[in-house]
Structure 1
């Protein structure tokens, strides 16, 4: 608020100084115009002195020249000059721009009032509401989700405060879900850890017995080995459960089904990446397609396409990224391909696994979740995604249901 007050003072001070300078210029101009008659009277005296006559039309500021008995008989503004040893009364007109100065000052006063009103309006509807929200982001960052967010009726900040409230509620909801998930996961892990101890103890006992040669009968040894194998299968099952529990965090996605025209989706993607790719010298080619209505979550489908193009940018050779389309069995097939694929064919079965990074990753930053997220989202939307390598290109195809 102090900074805004200083700004208001500076704006008003600059305006007043500018107005004062303009007044000084107008006053000086007025004084200059009023003094023109003296110059013309002096010229007139020189002309009479030189020629003995004059032409009054050459002197626009002068209205009359008199001598003799009429020398001092006038109610007009005049000046007495001496020319050729004779006195003349020279009358002149007074030109004043006082009215202009008054009008200009009235306009400046109105402008000053408008500026003050504008500054007051900005303070009331923008600065003060923003000041009341100043500590909210910091408190949210600290984890204080109970920080009060004042409701604002201002059309500038009404939607903003509403959105911040939604953000706070979403963070609180996500926190509760995370706590619940962590609690359930810990209980599951504790339960599985306890369950693992039983077959593990049996394996250790049987292994010791075999190692010490306690079983002389071949049939007994074979039975003990089968028992160990059975217990190992149980442990393998428990490990699978643990792995599944550990991956649940990444599988908790939500989709809201809706509809969107294919053209709208492609226009958004092209608008997002065209300038970036052009600056990098990468050609973005969009093949012809028939417009149709897709049944999907538009935001999630856009997220999938963005993931695919980001991958094409990171792992391609930067020459070409191509979007191609096909229709099949009530579905639209959207394929994103890039040149310069160095991935091996045998890795195609693993590219959709979480945290998997192919041999082509090199030093490229990433976490191996992009294609995993795409597969999960497409599955939730009733679609599919698959990958293949063809003529040195890496192709990912999204199968989206038609509405």
Structure 2
């Protein structure tokens, strides 16, 4: 902020320097121009006063002691200095109309009045009407005005940028850092700022989402503790029974084969009870970890593909991966476009992580009032026996060895598609993997 104010101050200082320099320079040229005209008019007036024209009436016109003098006969520089007219007024003239006309200004012309002195007495006045080719004074005022306009416009832009962009951004600059530390208590005041309004709204939504996830994590931690307590209690009974039956068999307490067989059956029953507990734990854990909300509505296929192209075209180009989107009809589909983009994005991210990085293509077909989106990536396919498990939670295929992941991406895709009344399939190809998203048409 301080640096920005320094920039405005420096710009103001520069403007003042330019304005003062321009004013001094223009004044210098104006004074020089005026001196040139005064010198010429002074020279011309002396020639006229030394001549007999004011005595013998040798002039172009004469009316009531006012006359227009032909000055061309006195100087060759009349045209150069644009002296339009030379008029003489006798001091003895008492006609007010003539005097008013003599002293009145004429549009577009400047005038200079010189007294005519003879024998130490003023006998009349000479008026010189002239027009400057370049009026330095007017040019100076125009330049100053133009320079002031540029200064005010620039300062206005700088102040507007400071008020509408820099200050709001400065207020938001610490928010990502606070969020990264888990400080979710400080809310963000909503704003109608045309530049940051949506950004502020998005940060607020992010804060709310992080707070929701934090609360879910706390609840999950409490639930896990309760589950562990419950399991420790519920499993203890069948484990104790299994332990007793096993010791009885080990010590030969059963005399007949029927008793031994019955003990084995009891052990198997208790084992099944424990197995059911383990299944319940796995289901509960998965449901707590993955919480997917879908807002089903309608969207056009073009909207989805534009989002995918905008999100991944440049990335494929940077990774030197061939990326192609086939032709399709702009079909109206049912579902949540944001969740659909998430599902397609998971498949494309898998292509980056587990494919060979050579080719990624998206093609389209239709079947039974559904649009089928085929996402293919080149690389090593999974084994034949793995296709049925790809969409299980926490399952990772054989081609993911040595690569980061948690085995939830395809499971999330499957859950999203089911909640949108769609489906997802995997197909093994000779040179890669193809995933098919089934999207119901509207």
For the aligned pair, the TM-score class normalised by the smaller chain equals 0.7 to 0.9
Cα gap change, 1:28/1:275 in structure 2, threshold over 3 Å: closer, same or farther? farther
**Aligned-pair CA distance for 1:202:** 1.0
Shift of 1:254: 0.6
1:100 aligns with 2:139: yes
Q: Is the 8 A contact 2:426 2:433 kept in 1?
A: yes
Q: 2:388 aligns with which of 314, 324, 349?
A: 349
| Matched residue SS, 1:260 | strand
2:240 corresponds to 1:201: yes
Contact preservation (8 Å) 1:56, 1:62: no
**1:314 is aligned to 2:353:** yes
Q: Of the two, which has the highest radius of gyration?
A: 2
User: Retained in 2: the 8 A contact 1:251–1:376?
Assistant: no
**TM-score, normalization by structure 2:** 0.71
Per the alignment, residue 2 of structure 1 pairs with 2
Shift of 1:256: 0.5
Q: 1:304 aligns with which of 343, 347, 355?
A: 343
Displacement of 1:298 = 0.6
Cα pair distance change 1:299/1:231, threshold 3 Å? same
Partner of residue 92, structure 2: none
For 1:169 and 1:344, locate their aligned partners in 2 and report how far apart those are by CA, in whole Å: 42
Query: Are the aligned partners of 1:132 and 1:150 in contact in 2 as well (CA < 8 Å)?
Result: no
Tell me if structure 2 keeps the 8 A contact 1:338–1:394: yes
1:101-140 maps to which residues of 2 (within 5 A)? 101-140=140-179
Residue 93 to residue 149, structure 1, CA distance change in 2 (3 Å): closer
Q: Distance in 2 between matches of 1:62 and 1:312?
A: 84
What is aligned with 1:47? none
Query: Which has the higher mean CA deviation after the structures are superposed, 275-284 or 322-331?
Result: 275-284
Q: Aligned in 2, Cα 1:287/1:364: closer, same or farther, shift over 3 Å?
A: same
1:265 matched to which residue of 2? Answer: 304
Whether 1:212 and 2:251 are equivalent positions in the alignment is: yes
* In the alignment, structure 1 residue 224 sits paired with structure 2 residue 263: yes
CA contact (8 A) 1:294 1:402 kept: yes
Structure 2: how far apart are the matches of 1:312 and 1:161? 33
**1:400 to 2:429 alignment:** no
Q: Per the alignment, in what secondary structure is the counterpart of residue 364 of structure 2? A: strand
* Counterpart pick for 1:147 among 161, 165, 186: 186
Deviation at 1:396, TM superposition (A): 0.7
Match of 1:256 in 2: 295
Question: CA RMSD of the aligned region, Å?
Answer: 3.4
Please state how far the C-alpha of 1:268 moved relative to its aligned partner. Answer: 2.6
Q: Which residue of 1 aligns with 2:372?
A: 333
Question: Match of 1:295?
Answer: 334
CA distance in 2, matches of 1:299, 1:357: 25
Judge conservation of contact 2:378–2:432 (CA < 8 Å) in 1: yes
Distance 2:336 2:299 in 1: 8
Structure 1 residues 335, 235: closer, same or farther in 2, change over 3 A?
same
Once the two structures are TM-superposed, the CA of residue 11 in structure 1 deviates from its matched residue by 2.5
**1:377 aligned partner:** 416
Q: What residue ranges of structure 1 are gaps of 5+ in the alignment?
A: 38-54, 64-73, 77-91
- Cα offset, 1:390, TM superposition: 2.5
Change (3 A) 1:381 1:160: same
Q: Is the 8 A contact 1:356 1:369 kept in 2?
A: yes
> Residue deviations 1:355-401, cap 9 Å, x none?
33322224443333221211111111111111121333311111111
Distance 1:293 1:327 in 2: 12
CA deviations 1:243-262 (Å, max 9, x no partner) are 22222233211110011122
CA contact (8 A) 2:360 2:376 kept: yes
The 3-state SS of whatever aligns with 2:366 is strand
CA 1:117–1:265 in 2, change beyond 3 Å: closer, same or farther?
Answer: closer
State how far apart, in whole Å, the 1-side matches of 2:188 and 2:330 are.
Answer: 45
In the aligned structure 2, how far is the partner of 1:3 from the partner of 1:140? 27
In structure 2, the residue corresponding to 1:396 is in which secondary structure?
Answer: strand
Q: Is residue 12 of structure 2 the alignment partner of residue 12 of structure 1?
A: yes
TM alignment of 1:267-282, pairs within 5 A: 267-282=306-321
Is the partner of 1:360 in helix, strand or coil? Answer: helix
In the TM superposition, residue 134 of structure 1 has moved relative to its aligned partner by 4.8
Contact 1:286/1:323, CA 8 A, preserved across alignment: yes
TM-superposition CA deviations, 1:211-250 (whole Å, max 9, x none) = 1222222111111111111111111111111222222233
Number of residue pairs matched? 364
Distance across 1 between alignment mates of 2:331 and 2:169: 44
1:24 Cα deviation after fit: 5.6
